[in-house]
Structure 1
Amino acid sequence: MPRLIVDQLTDLTPELLGEYGIRSLFMDFDNTIVPYTTDVPTEAMDRWLTAMQESEIFLCVVSNSRNQRVVRFCNAHGLHCVTRSRKPFQKGIREALTRYHLDPKTTALVGDQIFTDVLGANCGGLTSILVTPIRLHNIWLKLRNVAEQPFIFLARGRRR
């Protein structure tokens, strides 16, 4: 179960994260920051990334993707990045925690999938944050989303 549910990544603020003792934020890439079909963020996402980078919150993209578009995006936006993370397994999460000397107790992982992002965060001792997927553009994503609905329903009291 996610510890916190928000509609979109841009709903997270340094103040809200501070309420949960969060000082570091790992972010999924596809369908959390940008849709699967592009690597161009919305203006709102661009503003949010800039504001968060100016805050005391450490940001790092932790993505299962092997695609270079994730690395290019992170380089262009000044973000730390770990790809091929294999969430929900702990390889990428542990790599990011170790590389950047972070404490899992003060780190959250935000993403759009229960069975990868939320499960990976929970297994790693991080705070899990679920966001609504930006866009469910194919049948597999829609089916996965249907399978996740019972868990989202059970966690509905955690929505902010």
Structure 2
Amino acid sequence: MSFSLIPNIRLNTVFDIKPDMLLRRNIRLLLLDLDNTLAPYSGQPPSDALNAWKRELESNGIELFIVSNTKTERAGCFAEAFGVSYLNRAGKPSPKMLRKAMILRSKNADETALVGDQIFTDILGANLCGITSIIVKPIRLKNPLFALRYFIEKPFRLLRKREGKKNE
């Protein structure tokens, strides 16, 4: 557990997360941020591509679990349509709900990763919990405040080389 804003892995999208990449690290549980990581804030259902990605991971023994800070029913509706369990009102960067998800799935920190689009919530929360942290680019930056936050977070994103390059 460390107070670090630097992700362990940097990718463009969740679709860049492949089973072999996770299995090499012994990751069996992938915690997922919802908004701007899996889908835009607009409330769209899971896409066909997202469902295909989920099937690929699950067929390789990797469980998916949504952990969202949303206070609305959006996480539940999306998770049901996506066919995965979820926790909302997670309060990230607090690691409390990340630990709860691991307990619910009988996994430890060494077997768990979290993917999200925000340094100050997702990545910090994962690092505080002692799990592998994966940053992806936000799906949409329409809101000027999100664009500003992304600009502020960019140096922390760049401190980690993109996955698939020489240095993993």
The answer, yes or no, to whether TM exceeds 0.5 is yes
> For 1:38-78, what per-residue CA distance to the aligned partner results, in whole angstroms no more than 9, with x for missing partners?
23233221211222222200110010112112101111221
Map 1:8-19; keep pairs closer than 5 Å: 8-19=13-24
2:72 counterpart of 1:53: no
* SS state at 1:17 partner: helix
Q: Structure 1 regions of 5+ residues with no counterpart?
A: none
Q: Name the aligned partner's letter for residue 159 of structure 1.
A: E
1:73 is matched with 78
2:168 counterpart of 1:159: no
Q: Name the aligned partner's letter for residue 104 of structure 1.
A: A
Shift of 1:158: 4.2
2:96 is matched with 91
Match of 1:116 among 121, 132, 136: 121
* SS state at 1:10 partner: helix
Higher relative helix content: 1
Match of 1:29 among 15, 28, 34: 34
- State how many pairs are aligned: 159
| Consecutive aligned runs of 4 or more in structure 1 exceeding 3 Å deviation | none
* In structure 2, distance between residues paired with 1:54 and 1:68: 28
Q: Do the aligned partners of 2:58 and 2:64 also contact (CA within 8 Å) in 1?
A: yes
Q: Do the aligned partners of 2:28 and 2:62 also contact (CA within 8 Å) in 1?
A: yes
* In structure 2, distance between residues paired with 1:58 and 1:139: 34
2:9 is matched with 4
Query: TM-score of the superposition, structure 1-length normalised?
Result: 0.94
Q: Percent identity at matched positions?
A: 40
Q: Do the aligned partners of 2:19 and 2:57 also contact (CA within 8 Å) in 1?
A: yes
Two-structure CA RMSD over aligned residues (Å): 1.2
> For 1:69-125, what per-residue CA distance to the aligned partner results, in whole angstroms no more than 9, with x for missing partners?
210111122101111110001221121112222111110000000110010000000
Query: TM-score of the superposition, structure 2-length normalised?
Result: 0.89
Q: Do the aligned partners of 1:62 and 1:81 also contact (CA within 8 Å) in 2?
A: yes
> For 1:3-22, what per-residue CA distance to the aligned partner results, in whole angstroms no more than 9, with x for missing partners?
00111001111101112221
* In structure 1, distance between residues paired with 2:126 and 2:115: 8
Q: Name the aligned partner's letter for residue 52 of structure 1.
A: L
* In structure 2, distance between residues paired with 1:78 and 1:69: 14
2:146 counterpart of 1:141: yes
* In structure 1, distance between residues paired with 2:158 and 2:95: 26
Q: Structure 2 regions of 5+ residues with no counterpart?
A: 1-5
